[in-house]
Structure 1
Amino acid sequence: MNKTSLSVILSMSFVVTGNMLGAGILALPIKTGLSGAVPSFVGIVVMWACMLTTACILASQKSLTQSETADLPTFFQHELGSAGKWVTVVANMIILYGLLVAYISGAADVLQSLFAEEVPQDALMVSFFVIATFLTLFGMALMQKGNAVIMILMWLTFGGLVIMAAKNMDTTRLTYTDWHYLPASLPIVVTAFHFHNIIPSICRTMNYDQKAIRTSFFLGTFIGLIMNLIWVVVVIAALPLDGPDQNTILNAFEHNLPATVPLEAIIKTPGFMTCSLVFALLAMCAAYMANGTALTSFVRDLSTTYLRSSNIWLARAITFIPPLIVAIAFPNVFLDAIGLVGGVGIDVIFGILPGFLLVKYQTGMLKKLGWLLIAIFTIVLIYEIGQELGLLHIHPEAKYWNAKFHTS
């Protein structure tokens, strides 16, 4: 096997980072911010290590990575039986449909923050949906050719956001902690480190050189880790947790808003608003196109098998219409959708199931590592299901913040 060049490793690292930059990073500071800076750091680093580990586990599965036609349901059916297949099918649908709903809702929130006069949210959702869906159906080739430009723009605008928001930081806000809320924020963290759907294509590109693959995974996710940590610190320090106005972490949490929306209201400069708009919409539109394409292919496979129809327009209708309906029926669902995606869909397929692979095939410390991964991701799943069913009502200690750290 030929040794993979450094340039290929770095290129694939950037691909990994690019696939991580999406709705997760926009949601991260709002959910984790409720627990404070130190708990956020602990949760983010732990889940980064866990998601990196499960990515390496999947990359080592030859039957998944070395087949041009292998898909996750078929792979897990072979490894874990019919239960593995159907759990994967359901979880994958939660991921893909949930992300499309989140992008439609989140993009409308970002666009609405730009207008001085109130613009109907439904109209903004439909506008983003029409443009993003059209690009998904007819503009993927153009998008792929311009991927390098898109990534450069996202990094530049992200850097601009951090620099401008840092001027509004109050470091006393970083001393607040509320550890009991941390587990409830972990589903968002899981989403922020998700890139696992592209693992087979990365492995094929790197000729199955496991050492090089692991290196690219580490470098790519480490860049994402640093970006996430910087972003969380800046937002937590720039926004009060609670207060008399609406530009707070707590208000953004209660209204399911991306972090850029309250920041725009505080940092009222054209440069920040431009960076915020470009970064958020590029992240959401690029991710919408990638996930929309993946969901269309997934739905077409299911409809061919179970509906006996290979009609591409039927698959497209089943793919794109339901997320729009859900987003309009349940507006301001951005954070909730991202939490459901990470806490159930990604958590099961790319957290719990890879842990079972270690338990099945390894012994000694590696088998124990498998059980540890299963335990950690199961805790995340339990918390997310508890919140979705209304069994857990975890709320930050806003009064504690007001008494010690809030500044108008």
Structure 2
Amino acid sequence: MNKTLGTTLLISGTMIGAGMLAMPLTSAGIGFLFTIILLIALWVFLTYSALLFVEAYQTIESDAGIGSLTAQYFGRMGRVVSTTVLMVFLYALLSAYVTGGGNIFASFLPDTDLGISKEAISAIVFTLVFGFFIVKGTKSVDLVNRLLFFTMLGALVLVLLVMSPEITFDNLGAMPIDNALLISATPVFFTAFGFHGSIPSLNNYLNGNYKALRFAIIVGSMTTLICYILWQLSTHGVLGQHLFLEMLRKDPTLNGLINACYELTGSEILSGVVKTFSVLALITSFLGVALGLFECIDDLLRGAFNLNVGRSSLGVLTFLPPILFALFFPKGFILALSYAGQMFAFYAVVLPAVLVYKVRQQHPNLPYRVWGGNAVLIISIIFGMLISIIPSLIQAGILPEVVG
């Protein structure tokens, strides 16, 4: 039960990233009601796709990574495709978090004359400090994540308490200014429920206990959904839609949101707590993503090359590329996230659906089977592919742009 709780918090902590705070900017033109409908629909969809991984992992050893799982059903090419997609996805996310962490912690450092920027120093220190827990093992990640997660929830509660007296039902009743924004915002909220890259390492941590993993996924993702809804309730309820859109024109960033909330509430505490929450959310997401990448590289070396590499060497392979990215692209937070988003739809939706289709053909009597037959698998694949092309439609001018 202790490991199950830790896994649940790791799942939730991976999803509740700093991007959660900017969610209201993305949904400004949609309105509270339709934002909640969109969040719930995507939560159901991505929880379903995560549970497909649970079904598939019943058929292989608990310490197997995604490459070994796909190789079992699709051969060497399956390993190559799935591992490549997952590694690009996780490396892009980790690069974004290292860059973001460097930018945040740089504000606490004095300027230097060492020929290296304080953002670079901060990114390196940030990675070394929190990367240490990854190299040490999943148990250490679990322990530090619990401390950070509950502190982060406390910060969120404080934010909600400060903002809640200013909520009005008129603001919550705002309707979409453009119905097409519901489609445009879907990819942004879609990635907000992304923890799927960590599932192999969490399955290993739970020793292949599919019941515990299923519980952790459902409860962890539901905890995240509740946090998202409460945050949207507070921000949409405090900031009217017209004020939202005016704020976007002036400063379409997290700082703009914080400043607008401060103007309405007059609370300096709010600004400090939101920044604290941002730091904690960034770290918990970093831990979850780094753990998934670490285990993915280990599985690749053991399964494809029959190499047993030490944890320190795995740590270098895991963290050196993101550090180099942060050094050469110090402002590359959004650039890295854009590449991550393109990979996520395939890995989190298409891959588990195709895997489970093969699993059910070869293992028709598994103890646990996700609800729905092949028709639901096909629908999920189509839906995932449609979401993946929305950014291209936005760039082509067919769909309106959103912030986020």
TM-score by length of 2: 0.76
* Equivalence for 2:25: 30
Contact 1:170/1:237 (CA < 8 Å) preserved in 2? yes
1:160 is aligned with what amino acid?
Answer: L
Paired amino acid for 1:366: G
Asked if the contact 1:105–1:327 (Cα under 8 Å) also holds between the matched residues in 2, the reply is: yes
Q: Identity of counterpart residues, as a percentage?
A: 20
Q: Which amino acid aligns with 2:247?
A: T
Q: d(CA) in 2 for partners of 1:90 and 1:203?
A: 20
> Any conservation in 2 of the 1:187–1:339 contact (CA below 8 Å)?
no
Are 1:19 and 2:14 matched, yes or no? Answer: yes
2:53 to 51, 58, 69: 58
Shift of 1:150: 1.5
How far did residue 79 of structure 1 move? 2.2
What SS class does the counterpart of residue 146 from structure 1 fall into? helix
Deviation for aligned residue 1:157: 0.5
- Mapping for residues 275-354 of structure 1, pairs under 5 Å: 275-296=273-294, 298-299=296-297, 319-320=318-319, 322-324=321-323, 326-327=325-326, 334=333, 337-338=336-337, 340-341=339-340, 343-354=341-352
Taking the aligned partners of 2:105 and 2:359, their CA distance within structure 1 comes to 49
For 2:214, the equivalent position in structure 1 comes to 214
Q: What does 1:77-88 correspond to in 2, within 5 Å?
A: 77-88=71-82
1:368 partnered with 2:354? no
Task: Tell me, in whole angstroms, the C-alpha distance in 1 between the residues paired with 2:330 and 2:259.
Answer: 18
For residues 370 and 287 of structure 1, what CA distance do their matches in structure 2 show?
Answer: 28
Q: Which SS does the other structure have where 1:188 is aligned?
A: helix
Preserved contact between residue 90 and residue 197 of structure 2 (Cα < 8 Å):
no
Query: Which amino acid in structure 1 is aligned with residue 231 of structure 2?
Result: W
Residue number among 45, 48, 56 corresponding to 2:43 in the alignment: 48
Q: CA deviation at 1:248?
A: 2.5
Q: What SS does the aligned partner of 2:180 have? A: helix
Maintained 8 Å contact 1:107/1:280: no
1:90 CA displacement: 2.9
Give the Å deviation of 1:369.
0.7
Q: Equivalent residue for 2:92?
A: 98
C-alpha distance in 2 between matches for 1:274 and 1:311: 41
Separation in structure 1 between the aligned mates of residue 74 and residue 384 of structure 2, nearest angstrom: 18
Partner of 1:150: 148
Q: Do the aligned partners of residues 114 and 43 (structure 1) sit closer, same or farther apart at CA in structure 2, a change above 3 Å counting?
A: farther
Structure 1: distance between partners of 2:9 and 2:259: 29
Assess, with a 3 A threshold, how the Cα gap between structure 1 residues 237 and 102 changes in structure 2: closer, same or farther.
farther
CA contact (8 A) 2:181 2:400 kept: yes
Q: CA deviation at 1:165?
A: 2.9
Summarize deviations over 1:180-236 as a string: whole Å, max 9, x none: 122332233232222223434544565655455433322221111111111123223
Residue among 103, 122, 127 paired with 1:133: 127
Q: Is the 8 A contact 1:23 1:192 kept in 2?
A: no
In terms of mean alpha carbon deviation, does 175-184 or 297-306 score higher? 297-306
Contact 2:149 2:284 in 1 (8 A): no
CA contact (8 A) 2:32 2:232 kept: yes
Q: Is the contact made by 2:47 and 2:221 (CA closer than 8 Å) also made in structure 1?
A: yes
CA distance, structure 2, for counterparts of residue 206 and residue 397 of structure 1: 39
2-structure distance, mates of 1:183, 1:144: 36
RMSD: 4.1
> Is residue 2:222 matched to residue 1:227?
no
CA shift, 1:347, in A, is 1.6
Deviation of 1:368 after TM superposition, in Å, equals 0.6
Separation of aligned partners in 2, 1:131 and 1:239: 37
Using the alignment, how far apart are the partners of 1:45 and 1:82 within structure 2?
A: 37
Q: Say if 1:246 and 1:324 are closer, same or farther in 2 by CA, change over 3 A.
A: farther
Return the alpha-carbon distance in structure 2 between the equivalents of residues 67 and 242 of structure 1.
52
SS of the residue aligned with 1:176? coil
How many residues are paired up? 381
CA distance in structure 2 between the aligned counterparts of 1:205 and 1:107, rounded to whole angstroms? 27
Letter in 2 for 1:47: L
Instruction: Identify the range of structure 1 (231-240 vs 367-376) with the bigger mean alpha-carbon deviation.
Output: 231-240
Equivalent position of 1:391 in the other structure: 396
Quote the offset at 1:367 in angstroms: 0.4
Match of 2:368 in 1: none
More moved, 201-210 vs 224-233: 201-210
In structure 2, how many angstroms separate the alpha carbons of the residues matched to 1:99 and 1:75?
Answer: 23
CA offset digits 1:350-406 (Å, max 9, x no partner): 21111223444559951011011101111111113555xx334643699xxxxxxxx
Distance 2:66 2:221 in 1: 22
Q: CA deviation at 1:31?
A: 2.4
| Alignment partners' CA distance in 1, 2:104 and 2:184 | 24
More off after superposition, 95-104 vs 258-267 = 258-267
- State the one-letter code of the partner of 1:129: A
**How far off is 1:310 after superposition?**
6.1
Code of the aligned partner of 1:224: T
Task: Please give the residue correspondences for 1:377-388 in structure 2 after superposition, counting only pairs within 5 Å.
Answer: 377-387=384-394
Change in CA separation of 1:310 and 1:269 when aligned onto 2, cut-off 3 Å: same
Give unmatched runs, 5+ long, in structure 2: 110-115, 362-370
The two structures have a TM-score, normalised by structure 1, of 0.75
**What is the rounded CA distance, in whole Å, between the counterparts of 2:142 and 2:402 in structure 1?**
45
Structure 2: which amino acid aligns with 1:368? A
Q: Structure 1 unaligned runs (5+)?
A: 116-121, 399-408
